[in-house]
Amino acid sequence: MLTEELQRRHDLTLREVEEKRRRYGGHFTAQRGLWVPYGIEGRQRVVGGVPHGHEFTHEPTKHRNIVVNEGLDHVLNVELNALAALTTWFLTGFTDAITPLATHDYAVDGVTELTTTDVAEAIRETFNANPASSQSLDNAAGPVAQYTADQAFSFEGAMLKAGSSTFTDVVDDAVHILFCSSVLAPVVAMVTLATIDLTYTIASSDV
C-alpha cells in the first residue's frame, strides 16, 4: 500500500502521506488537428511548394491525472533522500479504455501504449518542461508533444514517463519511472494523418 510504504520509508503519518499526494495535482491537455484539402478558402498554405493546410478540430480539453505511487516515491526520494533527478521525460499515450491505477508503474502500466503502427513518430515525444512559476510547471510554451496518426485509432489516455524513448519499453529499475497517467474524456478519435498535441501541467502546493 502507498500509505504504508511511504510511512515506513519517510516516517510520515498516514494523513501526511495523503496530503502529500493531494499537493501534487496535474492535468493533460489534448488538442486534435487535421490536414485539410487544398482549395478550402482561408485554410490552405504552401510549405515546400506543396499547398496544404492544418487546423485544430476542437478546443483543447483538460484531463485530470493520477500521480502513481512510483511517481510519488520518486519525488520524495529526489526531495528528501538525495536521489539524482531524472533529466529527460516523455509524453506518450495509450489506446485502450483502461482506468489508470495508483499501483501502476513503468514496467506494468496497465495499458496498451502507442506503437509505430499507430503513429508516424519512431519514439516517444519529449516533455519539454518550461521553468516553474507560481508553483506550477508545464510544456505549454512548447515545443509540445505532437503525434501524427498512421491509422485510425482511439487515443484513450496519456502518460508521463522517464527512462527510455522507446514505445512499450518495460524496464524495471530506479531510472525508469511512470510519473502519472490519465484517461482522455472524451476520447480523441484519430484518423490517418490527424495530429494530437499533448501538454502536461503539474502544480505543487504546501497547503
Domain boundaries along the sequence of the chain: 2-204
d(CA 127, CA 138): 9
Is this prediction's pTM over 0.75?
yes
Instruction: Please provide the DSSP assignment of 83-144 as one string.
Output: PPPP--EEEEEE-S-----TT--SS--SS-B--TTTBS-SSPEE--PPPPBTTEEESTTSPP
More confident residue, 3 or 184: 184
Query: What is the predicted pLDDT for the residue at 141?
Result: 87
pLDDT of 60-91, one tens digit each?
Answer: 778 888 999 999 999 999 989 989 999 999 99
CB 207 within 8 A of CB 100: no
Cross-strand bridge partners of residue 125: 91
pLDDT of 93-150, one tens digit each?
Answer: 999 998 899 999 999 999 999 999 999 999 999 999 999 888 899 999 888 999 999 9
